[in-house]
Amino acid sequence: MKVMLGISGGVDSSVAALRLLEDGHDVEGLFMQNWEEDDRDAGTCTAETDRKDAVSVCGRLGIPFHGRNFAAEYWDGVFEHFLAEYRAGRTPNPDVLCNREIKFRTFLDHALSLGAEKIATGHYARIDRHQGAWRLLRAVDRNKDQTYFLHALGQEQLASTIFPIGDLDKIEVRRRAAEADLPTHAKKDSTGICFIGERDFRSFLSQYIPARPGLMCTPQGEVLGEHQGVMYYTLGQRNGLNIGGRRNASGDPWYVVGKRVSENVLYVAQGGDNKWLMCRTAQASQPNWIAGRPPGAGFRCTAKVRYRQNDQDCVVEVDGDRVTARFDQPQRAVTPGQSIVFYHGQACLGGAVIEATDAAFGSLSQHTPVEAGQT
């Protein structure tokens, strides 16, 4: 079978290529450039280094190399949405959208046009066929599992995809890369959002959304200081608030608990598990179900509201394109714009975009900020 591998220049896609060859496939590698570098990216974007590593891996394994620039598609399909969400005060997850729009749409279409029968990537996930439908399964290495970021895929994409390393743990991946003398065997894993790289996030975002300082207040309306722009902060954030010791306040650290974008006010409260951050119910929209439909109008499952979170037991209610998750235990800092992803055992059922929760701040009446000491 002819398989087009998305080769990134990292160790995971390198070993994916190796395993495809071992399985007897006719393999070619395609490097996707999804971001146009300019002077602002100097010293921070690793695309050229990654491309060279991808070329070296293909040469070492004797497979054809292709390079394609999908930056225009990435800008239109991912980055503009990313900016719009931040302008609205939400915290988007561009990796989910990149997988749906670029790696498993633009790349898939291009690979098929080049004669490939399937595509492959170095994602940590598995695919199987069960009762006539394709399933997206967690990786064997639960610490590296990436199904959270792949939940927006569907039957068409899964039918055309192979995840060659989903049954390996990371230690084994590096061992196999070293045994095969692949040049990426000791390469450090990439982290963060691809187009930001090692840059300071606030500095990067300010290039596209100008800073608009405003008041930083408690939920009761007491002004504590000034923020640099509500779009730069996310729920549960502790660092970067610059709030010193205050009279009549405990020594607990301060956390972001809410935003009023229209008034340009950021709300903070003390304590990592304060009532303003906790919720039992999350409302979401734009659901995608791996099987093409939900398991039912109401069902029990587990869910994650962030990538590294442990599974949380919940009941899910589905009403068209609206989804409500009711958790057995209180959840902390459930953030609008992020994804809630549903699981049944090893299978990822799909997910949706969080819109609102029943956290105390969500029902907070509008307060007029009052300087400390005023009445």
**Annotated catalytic sites, by residue?**
98, 194
Are the C-beta atoms of 70 and 102 separated by less than 8 Å?
Answer: yes
Residue that is written with structure tokens 């496939």 in the block? 25
Is the torsion defined by CA of 185, 189, 194, 197 positive or negative? negative
Residue 371's CB is within 10 A of a number of other CB atoms, namely 11
Tokens of 140: 């064997």
DSSP assignment of 3-50 = EEEE--SSHHHHHHHHHHHHTT-EEEEEEEE-S---GGGTTT--HHHH
Backbone angles phi, psi at 357, to 5 degrees: -140, 175
User: Cβ-count burial of 340 within 10 angstroms (0-12 exposed, 13-18 middle, 19+ buried)?
Assistant: buried
DSSP label at 341?
A: E
Provide the CA 297 distance to its chain's centre, in angstroms: 27
Dist. CA 159–CA 349, nearest whole Å:
16
Residue that is written with structure tokens 């734009």 in the block? 286
Tokens of 251: 């020594």
Half-sphere exposure of 214 (CA within 13 A, CB side): 19
Q: Which of 44, 49, 47 is nearest to 33 (CA)?
A: 47
Q: Helices marked H in the chain — which ranges?
A: 11-22, 47-61, 71-74, 80-87, 94-98, 107-113, 147-150, 155-159, 170-179, 201-206
Distances in Å between the alpha carbon of 257 and those of 61, 108, 154, 270, 273? 51, 40, 34, 9, 10
Backbone angles phi, psi at 100, to 5 degrees: -70, -45
Q: Helices marked H in 62-206 — which ranges?
A: 71-74, 80-87, 94-98, 107-113, 147-150, 155-159, 170-179, 201-206
